[in-house]
Amino acid sequence: MVNDNAIAVLGTGIMGAAIARNLIAAGMEVRAWNRTREKAEPLADDGAKVADTPAEAAEGARFVLTMLAETDAVVEAVDGGGALSALLYDGVWLQMSTVGTEGHERLARVADERGVFYVDAPVLGTKEPAEQGQLIVLASGPDEVRERCQHVFDTLGSTTFWLGPAGAGSRLKLVTNNWIVGILGVLAETVTLAEAVGVDPARFLEVIEGGPLGLPYAQIKGQMMIEEEFPTSFSAKLARKDAGLVLDTAEKSGLQLTIAKAAAARFDEAISAGHGEEDLAAIYQATRPDNG
């Protein structure tokens, strides 16, 4: 049955679950699917219909929204007998996963083969902004579906940037992720340096707060490092994946991003030490003398 108000949300991890709940609150009919069904089932209490397959979730829907960890998982969910086979003929695929430039190109080919509208729209923000509907959406895709998509993006985010043809969103996300990876690596080493020379790292955060050197992000993540408590809003494992996408794209562009490489190596150390599922601020653990 056709439902103009239905949206299939594929991927109900930290970000996908928050997105689904906001869409439900906005009055949309949400069909939720996750590879591990148990992660999607709590959404039923919020009013979502939990589907056994991506195709079941997309049956008769106008939108499919993907928020999955990497390109292969997205392809598996939408291609073949997946969600796009059940999406309406004029349906829109909102691809909001972070997949990099090569991943975007692969997914765009899938959309073209399936004859669906494809909007490349990764987001900036982690758990709390997602829960509050305060994500920043980096949207790119066909002009003819922009108006249709806008009410969805307005539900999920505080700001939507329309950047042009599909792919522009993923490129800007890569650039922004390089900035985030660099900030986290330098912040972690700064906190460790402060501790090593007998400076209270909280004093460092106090000194930069509110001034031209200060970042609210540094306050949040720096405090987590000081307290050595890393409740996950975005995992170190996923941050390392994003750093890899940055480095792959840079290499193909003939660039050597030395700082990004160093930060990626720090994430590798943190993950090897067992911090991969903790917040990305756990990169700090790799900078400590005992490599905690």
Told to judge if 49 belongs to the known catalytic residues of this protein, a careful annotator would answer no
Do the Cβ atoms of 142 and 166 come closer than 8 Å? Answer: yes
What's the mean pLDDT when you consider all of the chain?
Answer: 95
> Which residue type sits at 199?
V
Residue (of 254, 287, 257, 281) closest to 269 by Cα position: 287
State the pLDDT at residue 189. Answer: 97
User: Residue 3: is its pLDDT beyond 70?
Assistant: no
pTM: 0.93
Sorted by where each begins, the domain ranges of the chain are 3-165, 171-286
Q: Give the closest residue to 122 by CA, choosing from 70, 78, 72, 77.
A: 70
Task: Please state the CATH superfamily assignment of the domain spanning residues 171-286 in this structure.
Answer: N-(1-d-carboxylethyl)-l-norvaline Dehydrogenase; domain 2 (1.10.1040.10)
Query: What is d(CA 196, CA 117) in angstroms, rounded to the nearest whole number?
Result: 54
Share of the chain above pLDDT 90, in %: 95
Contact 264, 245 (CB under 8 A): no
Q: Name the token pair of 176.
A: 């922004």
- CB < 8 Å & 24+ apart, contacts of 243-251: 243/177, 243/181, 243/267, 245/98, 245/99, 245/100, 245/101, 245/103, 245/174, 245/177, 246/100, 246/174, 246/177, 246/178, 246/181, 248/100, 248/102, 249/100, 249/101, 249/102, 249/174
Q: Catalytic pick from 49, 173, 252, 261?
A: 173
Residue 91 has, within 13 A of its CA and on its CB side, a CA count of 28
3-state DSSP assignment of residue 140: strand
pLDDT in tens, 114-172: 999 999 999 999 999 999 999 999 999 999 999 999 999 999 999 999 999 999 999 99
For residues 178 and 284, what is the distance between their CA atoms, to the nearest angstrom? 17
pLDDT value at 220 more than 70: yes
Residue 135's SS3 state is strand
CATH superfamily of 3-165: NAD(P)-binding Rossmann-like Domain (3.40.50.720)
- Mean of the pLDDT values across residues 42-65? 95
Assign 291 a pLDDT band (cuts: 50, 70, 90). low
- d(C-alpha 39, C-alpha 220), whole Å: 27
One-letter identity of residue 5? N
Specify whether the CB–CB gap between 74 and 105 falls below 8 A. Answer: no
**Helix, strand, or coil (residue 279):** strand
Q: Which residue has tokens 């390392």?
A: 240
Share of the chain above pLDDT 70, in %: 98
What is residue 89's predicted lDDT score, i.e. its pLDDT? Answer: 82
pLDDT at 292 > cutoff 70: no
pLDDT in tens, 17-43: 999 999 999 999 999 999 999 999 999
How many CB atoms within 10 Å of residue 96? 29
